[in-house]
Structure 1
Amino acid sequence: MCGIAGYFQLHSEARPDRELLGRMVNIIRHRGPDEFGAYFDNRCALGQARLSIIDLATGSQPLSNEDGTLWITFNGEIYNYVELRPELEKLGHKFRTHSDTEVIIHAYEEWGKECLGVFNGQWAFAIYDKKNKSLFISRDRLGVRPVFYATMNGRFYFASEIKSIFCDRSIPRRIDLAGLDEIFTWWTTSPPRTAFEGINELEPGSYVEVKNGGVSGGRYWRMEYPETYDKERSLNSWAEELHALLVDSVRLRLRADVPVGAYLSGGLDSSATTSLIKHFTTNRVETFSIAFHDKAYDESEYQKQVADYLGTNHHQIQCGYHDIAENFPRVIWHTERPILRTAPTPLFMLSGLVRRNNFKVVLTGEGSDEILGGYDIFKETLIRRFWAKNPDSAWRPALLRRLYPTLPLSASRARYYLETFYKAGLSESDKYYFSHIPRINTTTKIKDYFTGGVREAIGGYESVCAFDRHIPANFYRWHHLARAQYLEATSLLSGYLLSSQGDRVTAGHSVEGRFPFLDHRVVELGARIPPAHKILGLKEKLVLKKAMKDELPREITARVKQPYMAPDSNSFVQPDSPDYIDEMLSVAAIEKFGIFKPAYVANLREKCAKLYHAHLSFKDNMSFVGILSTQLLMDQYIDHFQPAEGLGRESFKIWHDYSI
């Protein structure tokens, strides 16, 4: 993992702005503190903040092909570079490093943008073609690595993080209210939209080309589900193929010239990746986890159980309310968008623990739930679709009680609550977002806090339709579980879990996350597996449990999934809570930024403070965290943003200056 940044002159050539590139690289140095690199000519500037993981000695960037006509700055990993290199050498390409970066540039030289289809990895890279006076930028299939861009001042700017683009002081910094509306609907924005006006996010599985003053793009990969399934094939057969692919995926993701650790939550997914490291490689296994003071969120008992079973050298960090509140502003600096839960904050602390133990790389279990049907939202979808066929049925909605048997309500009240909540939108089964209506209905309650001015500015924009353009033509011919999985992967996975809760909080401590379940081969296999082998009745991830039966004890594979969560509003209303909370939620601050109604915010805060010892509703928690994070974002990026100091020539290990 690294940080990339730069710009491309859209029309006329100009003397390079070395000081600007120095600022752009410096402000994302947390992504790659090991060394810095730069390339300049009168048309293009490329910057690199490197986290050295592969080819520590000669893998510095920016890097060129043999004749210097192509230059690359690259963030991420191409795991199958070892296999691709001999193929390129047979085609006549000459290598001078042992890095995966050089494989990319030769593959692009040989196959053009078709090279994207042969890469197995996670990436965001920019390639400058001097001969054709063009820039090519690509992002990996699932959106593990970020890249943003903006077109202003006759330039095309790009960077791993938005703050880098803002280092050009002439670029306006304004909140995109439609983007905010999307976040308060989906937890994320729909690319290319971001939380800031004029700043674009490159969609996962896509590329963009800049040439002749124009910007064009395209898609090279999309998650696809079949319209029919192979129902003759047994569960055991699917499980065997999944197991073999996961073993290979883990093997590839352990390729590094530095030690690799693993996150261990105590659940099935992280236990599976850790177990595969243990059983199918010779790597020593170091695991890392979070223990919460609030026992409602703590899984340390299960973490210890797995760590003891697998014999890992286990490291644990304790997380309390004050820890979350103290670290929350730093998390918002890294996420560059409002968030609705505090869950990224303990993970930010966890990556700090990883780094303090001298690890740069960790494997995690992200992606399994989306690909193999692990979330309750998928079970809810199956029940609601079944219920929608006979909306007046008295017993069909009773299945919800089986899904949520531990609600702290009487049987009659629990049934009334579940039926009322999940019946909303039951008649809208023709909508692409049918599966997500209950979540959307809860999330959008935050908009009750918007001022009249914000509502007027947003106007008739329907953020519920934000992901409509991402829907494939044959979407409605897919099984309804497949539709729900696709929408979850397209929205929450890439836009939140791999971003705010993934790349941003690991990169904040110069750590790279790797995700075996998001190997595109695993994703494509998961799409072909029949729904009944993913969820049977109310039992989730059946095929994964079958695949891992010989490597994990039954106590782990049979355990009911506990979603990862962290204390929300409770973290900010304790007697020892930091002073910034009073400042950000004061009437003066709320009025200054003009997004939320001061009286409504004051009432919410008073309610949370009175119930500081209790667990509030999802609606109240999301509203509190969403409002506070928005206020922090406004303060950090609109009101008090300061571009980093420009790095001088002496700070760069690599400096290629071909300007005239």
Structure 2
Amino acid sequence: MCGFVSIYDRLGQPVNLDIIQKMTQTMIHRGPNEEGIILDGHLGLGFRRLSINGLKEGSQPFLNHNQSIAVVFNGEIYNYKELKKWLEELGYQFMTDTEAETLIHLYEEVGFDLPKYLRGMFAFQIWDREQDILFGARDQMGIKPMYWCETDHYYVFSSEIKGLLACPEVKRQVNQEALSHYLTFQYVPDPLTMFAGIYKIPPAHTWMVKNKEIKIQKYWEAQFQPDENRSFSDCVDETRAVIKESVHAHLMSEVPRGAFLSSGIDSSAIVALHRQHENVQTFTVGFDIPGYSELEFAKQTADTLKTNHHEVKIDATRYQEILPRLIWHQDEPVADPSAIALYFVSQLASQHVTVALSGEGADELFGGYLIYREPSALQMFSYLDSQTRKWLGSWASHLPNIKGKNYLLRGSKTVEERYFGNAFIFDEKMKKNLMTEELQQAYISPWTVTGPIYNRVPNADDVTKMQYLDIHSWLCGNILMKADKMSMANSLEVRTPFTDIRVFEVASRIPTKYKIANGTTKHVLREAMKEFLPTHVAQKKKLGFPVPIRYWLKNEFYQWAKDIIEESATSDFIRKSYALQLLEKHKHGHADHSRKIWTVLCFMLWHQVYIEEKYQFSTIEKGEVRRHHVILNLDGHQLLKKQGYSMRIANSMRSF
């Protein structure tokens, strides 16, 4: 697991070493072990390494034999040994047993089709000196991040936004369209970020800088193709086999491994399958408040599976104190309270292991969210024509707040009209009450995000449409983003076997009738895993890492939240009077506005951190840096002398 940056100067001017070095060092937490930099005229690459595989020979940037191609790579390629064997059969000679060298030779063989051959989590860039092409790709599910922007002189790329902001030409400015979407979704959907002019590379996309122009295009599509003729037992058997194989593949490393463990089926299944190969260290986070802790259930599971278990308990003070720093690590506001819980369990795990397996993605792929049962509950409305449903919705909207009103309102809408993803924070009426007139001028309907996604699957059933939307928005924008940023903040590599491309291929063929069945969700997955799980886990609903934000905002967090709202320099965007009104109603029990308040607070804290620059954070290296890396100028093959860096002869790939 690593981080990298790059600058391509469109004017053909040499890239400044100090800029690349400053950008690279913003991400020491992603790679505390080594640093490497290449300058080649108008192209600069910077790299930070967290050593997982190829401990002695996996340094980057990595060059081919004649230094015509260089690669920087973040992630893991689980089929790289298969690819290496194939390339050796084709005549390629390898000097190392590393993923980086495999990527270079695969590029030499298949060119820009390279990412189609990869199974793993990855973001990489390849610099082809002879063709003057900078080429890169992000993995299919969006596990590893990638950001970019265009300035007056540069195309700039980085594994984290803070790396881009270290470039003097990159400005800090709120993207008002992104803020409008954030208030709906609790995160900023691809390809926008909360910074104007800074963008995400979407999952399953490549990018290429050629002839001083950038081109971004999709290379893979996560399509559901349920096979209605398959038997339930076949679905169960295939699911069991592919998850077992995926967990085994995800154990590839030369460093200690462990796993996160909650009380639900997803993480428990990963741990149980992991335990078949080796002794496992497991890690759980919890809170003191009843109903918000999985510590007891996780400990029971750990005892049954005979793991070496560790747990951490968090209180309101500790949670509150760390929040600004964690928002700095996230780069953007993500109003998911469990992100901070994930930070603490990652911090705990990093004290014992370097790699941790986790259960993200099972709900999206196998139909695990309770909301996926809604289409069945609303089935009766599907027999009404569109005009009747519209009339019903209009009539229900005028009813007082009585039991059944929301059911009628949701039943009157199609799935495209009512479902905006797993998190839906502010509806349009409340959002406009919160937004200032200035921000309302930038307002764009959330339909501009969800509509194009729904339009790609017009003939799918409602549950499949909901899964499809979540995989293309919620999974990458929230779930996998927080897993990457919160683990990397602790120099910990988190791997998610459920989001493996081969697991998706199996999950995509399961009919909905087998996913939402027997009075539960992800029915196939439960059946496939039950032989490995303790009985108390097999049918238990997943809680994830629940966080007592609802309780804290009425008590310990109340004055703190009020102070942030009143003192925040966000009056151009947020009506503070309305935000304070929501807080008061929540405190006095008139309504549960905790998620809405938290969404506002996270944006305001992000604004303090990144726009006002009220806080100054620096990355503290985890342990002692093993060795600094060379800084190489490929233009003339001259080493640049820089204090604190080792000087090495740069005449072969082994210089790196």
1:564-588 alpha-carbon deviations (Å, 9 max, x no partner): 421225435645x5997565322x4
For 1:303-343, what per-residue CA distance to the aligned partner results, in whole angstroms no more than 9, with x for missing partners? Answer: 01210110000000002222221221122112222233311
Count of equivalent residues: 618
Following the alignment from structure 1 to structure 2, what is the Cα–Cα distance between the partners of residues 7 and 367? 33
Residue matched to 1:362 = 356
Aligned twin of 1:208: 207
Q: Which residue of 2 aligns with 1:555?
A: 536
Is 1:656 paired with 2:654?
no
Aligned position for 1:395: none
Tell me if 1:631 matches 2:610.
Answer: no
TM-score (norm 2): 0.89
Q: Does 1:40 align with 2:35?
A: no
Q: C-alpha distance in 2, partners of 1:135/1:222?
A: 23
C-alpha distance in structure 1 between counterparts of 2:309 and 2:483, whole Å:
21
CA RMSD of aligned residues (A): 2.6
Identity %, equivalent residues: 29
Q: 1:594 and 2:578 equivalent?
A: no
| Equivalent residue letter for 1:36 | E
Deviation string, structure 1 residues 151-174 (Cα, Å, up to 9, x no partner)? 112211000111110112232211
Q: 1:371 corresponds to which residue?
A: 365
**Aligned counterpart, 1:462:** 445
Change (3 A) 1:95 1:571: farther
Residue 399 of structure 1 corresponds to none
Q: CA deviation at 1:79?
A: 0.8
Letter of the structure 1 residue corresponding to residue 259 of structure 2: A
CA distance, structure 2, for counterparts of residue 548 and residue 58 of structure 1: 38
Matched-pair contact (CA < 8 Å) for 1:177–1:457: no
Classify the secondary structure of the residue corresponding to 1:548: helix
Corresponding letter in the other structure for 2:7:
Y
8 A contact 2:425–2:596 mirrored in 1: no
Once the two structures are superposed, the pairs formed by residues 450-489 of structure 1 within 5 Å of their partners are 450-459=434-443, 461-471=444-454, 473=456, 475-489=457-471
1:564-575 correspondence to structure 2 within 5 Å: 564-571=545-552, 574-575=555-556
Partner residue in 1 for 2:646:
none
| Structure 1 position 144, deviation (Å) | 0.3
**Separation (CA, whole Å) in 2 of partners of 1:522 and 1:219:** 20
The Cα shift of 1:537 comes to: 4.9
Distance 2:55 2:202 in 1: 30
In the other structure, the counterpart of 1:267 is 264
Matching of residues 512-531 of structure 1 within 5 Å: 512-531=493-512
Deviations 1:101-121 (A, max 9, x none): 211121111111222122110
> Are the counterparts in 1 of residues 426 and 596 from structure 2 also a CA contact under 8 Å?
no
SS at match of 2:150: strand
The aligned counterpart of 1:400 is: none
- CA apart distance, 1:378: 0.6
User: How far apart are 1:51 and its partner, in Å?
Assistant: 0.6
CA contact (8 A) 1:378 1:435 kept: no
Deviation at 1:177, TM superposition (A): 1.0
Deviation at residue 353 of structure 1 after TM alignment: 0.5
Q: CA deviation at 1:36?
A: 0.8
- The alignment status of 1:447 with 2:427, answered yes or no, reads no
> Which residue pairs with 2:55 in the alignment?
56
1:189 and 1:495 in contact (8 A); partners too: yes
Q: Secondary structure at the match of 1:156?
A: strand
User: Does residue 230 of the first structure (1) align with residue 228 of the second (2)?
Assistant: yes
Aligned pair 1:253/2:257, yes or no?
no
1:221/1:76 CA distance change after superposition, 3 Å: same
Asked whether the 8 Å contact 2:421–2:466 carries over to 1, the reply is no
Displacement of 1:44 in angstroms is 0.8
What secondary structure does 2:168 align onto?
A: coil
What are the equivalent positions in structure 2 for 1:165-204 lying under 5 Å apart?
A: 165-204=164-203
Q: Secondary structure at the match of 2:233?
A: helix
Partner of 1:404 in structure 2? none
Give how far 1:632 is off: 1.1
Q: Does 1:294 align with 2:275?
A: no
Distance 1:181 1:456, change over 3 A: closer
Aligned residue among 383, 401, 417 for 2:377: 383
Query: Structure 1 residues 533, 569: CA separation in 2 closer, same or farther (over 3 Å shift)?
Result: closer
Partners in 1 of 2:466 and 2:410 — Cα distance? 15
Q: 2:7–2:44: 8 Å Cα contact kept in structure 1?
A: yes
Structure 2 counterpart SS, 1:21: helix
Partner of 2:9: 9
**How far, CA to CA, are the matches of 1:248 and 1:31 in structure 2?**
28
1:470-489: CA deviation from partner (whole Å, max 9, x where unpaired):
4464x111122111100011
Which amino acid is 1:372 matched to? Answer: F
Q: How far has the Cα of 1:34 moved from its partner?
A: 1.0
Question: 1:446–1:123: structure 2 CA closer, same or farther, 3 Å change rule?
Answer: farther
1:423 aligns with 2:408: yes
Structure 1 residues 69-117: Cα deviation after superposition (integer angstroms, max 9, x where no partner): 1111111000111111111112222222221121112111111122212
Q: Deviations over 1:425-444 (max 9, x none)?
A: 43332x63544489537555
Q: Give 1:235's aligned amino acid.
A: F
What is the CA distance between 1:272 and its match in structure 2?
0.4
* Structure-to-structure mapping, 1:390-429, within 5 angstroms: 390=384, 419-429=404-414
1:438–1:370: structure 2 CA closer, same or farther, 3 Å change rule? closer
1:585 maps to which residue? 565
Q: Distance in 2 between matches of 1:532 and 1:555?
A: 25
CA deviation vs aligned residue, 1:519-542 (integer Å, no higher than 9, x gap): 111111111011111111531111
| Cα distance, 1:659 vs structure 2 | 3.8
Judged with a 3 Å threshold, the aligned counterparts in structure 2 of structure 1 residues 27 and 174 are, in CA distance, closer, same or farther, namely same
Q: Distance in 1 between matches of 2:500 and 2:176?
A: 35
The range that moved more, 340-349 or 484-493, is 340-349
| CA contact 2:183–2:425 (8 Å) conserved in 1 | no
Question: Secondary structure of 1:256's match?
Answer: coil
Q: 1:635 to 1:442 in 2, by over 3 A?
A: closer
Specify the code of the residue in structure 1 equivalent to 2:448: C
Q: Which residue of 1 aligns with 2:397?
A: none
Report the counterpart of residue 332 of structure 1 in structure 2.
327
CA contact (8 A) 1:63 1:72 kept: yes
Q: Which residues of structure 2 form unaligned runs of 5+? A: 387-399, 637-656
Change (3 A) 1:626 1:439: closer
Q: Which residue of 2 aligns with 1:25?
A: 24
Q: Distance in 1 between matches of 2:205 and 2:190?
A: 11
Structure 1's unaligned 5+ residue stretches are 393-414
Distance change in 2, residues 1:497/1:439 (3 Å): closer
TM-score normalised to the size of structure 1?
0.88
Tell me the CA shift for residue 634 of structure 1: 1.0
Q: 1:352 aligns with which of 347, 351, 355?
A: 347
The aligned amino acid for 2:441 is: A
Q: For residue 195 of structure 1, report the CA deviation from its aligned partner.
A: 1.0
1:525 match: secondary structure: helix
Separation in 2 of the partners of 1:442 and 1:348?
A: 26
Contact 1:355–1:509 at 8 Å: present in 2 too? yes
Counterparts in 2 of 1:516 and 1:50: CA distance versus 1, 3 Å: same
